Structure 1
C-alpha cells in the first residue's frame, strides 16, 4: 500500500511492480525544486544448506560446518558456543572461517561442543543457521541393564529397563503389554556411538 504522510511517501511491503524512479516535486511562488529517488528490488540473503540433526564428531578430529548463501555480496559471520564471533574470512588459532563460508575447527576438544550459529546478512535483512555439535570422547556404557533372566506371566505387562551413559544418562525401556509364548527369547539392550558399543542381554521366559 502507498500513502503520503506530511510529504513522505510510504510504501508498505513493496512489490517488484513498484520498483522504478519516484519524483518529489516542490513548488511555490518563488519557484520549483525536484528530487528523484530510484527504488530497486532487493531481498535478504538465504542460507541454502541445513543440518537436520546434531553433528557428532570424535574428540581430536577436524570439524567443518558449511554455511552456503545464495549470493556472494553478503556479510557472513559464525558465532561460537563461547560467544566469539568470526567473520568471513578470518582465522583465530584452531578456528577459521573460509572464503566459501565454511567454519573449520582443527583438533576439536570436549569444550568445543555446543551450538554454532551462522548469520548471513545484507542491507535488506539476515538469515540464521544454527548447528548443534556433539564432541564424543568416550564409548557408551550400559550401567544398568535388564537382569540376565526375566520371567513373565501371561497377560501381565513386562518392562525391560536399560540405563546407559554416553554424554548424558540415557534410559530406554521396552514394554511388552500382553506377553505370550511367542515373546520368549533373548533381548539385547545396545548403546552405540562412533567410539564404541556396549550391550546387556536378558532371557525372557
Structure 2
C-alpha cells in the first residue's frame, strides 16, 4: 500500500512538473522573440559542431587576404557572420517602418498605424526570424543534395515556397493590425502587406550574399 501511495505521489509530481514546463514552453513560443532565441541556438550549435572546419575556412580567408594585400572583414569570419544577419534584421525593420509611414495616407490611417505600432514590431520580429530559421534549416538540408542533378530544382522550389509563405503571413498581419475602428479598408491594410514581400526579397538577397 505504501509503495502504491509513493508511486501515485511521484506520478502526480511528474505530471505537475510537466504541466509547468509545458506552460513555460508555450509562453516562450508565443513570445515575439522565440525565433530570435531559436536562431541563436541553431547558429551556435552549428558553429560548435563544425568548429574545426570553420576555423580552417577563416584561416584560408585570412591567407587569401594577405596574399592579395587586402584585409578580411571581421563580419565575414565565423562565428561573427551572425552579426550581419542581425544588422539586416534591424535595417529591415527601419525600412518597413519608413514605408508604412510613407504610405499611411490620411489621418485615420496614421492613427491606426500609431495605435498598432508595438504589435507591428513584435509580429515583424517574429516573422523575420521565423524566415531566418526556415532559411537556415532549409539551407542545411539542401546541402545534402548539393551534388545531385536536381539540386537547382530543389532550391527554386524551396525559395518559391518560402516567398509564398511570407506573402500569406505578411498579408494576414496587415489585415489583422491595420483595420480602422469603422472597419474601413485602407491602402495600408489592403495592399501594403503584399508590397512588403518585395522588400523582404531584397533582404533575402542580401542575406544570401553575406
Give the TM-score category using the shorter length: under 0.3
Structure with greater contact order relative to length (CA < 8 Å, sep ≥ 6): 2
Query: TM-score, normalising length from structure 2?
Result: 0.22
Query: TM-score, normalising length from structure 1?
Result: 0.22
Larger Rg: 1
The answer to which structure has the higher strand fraction is: 1
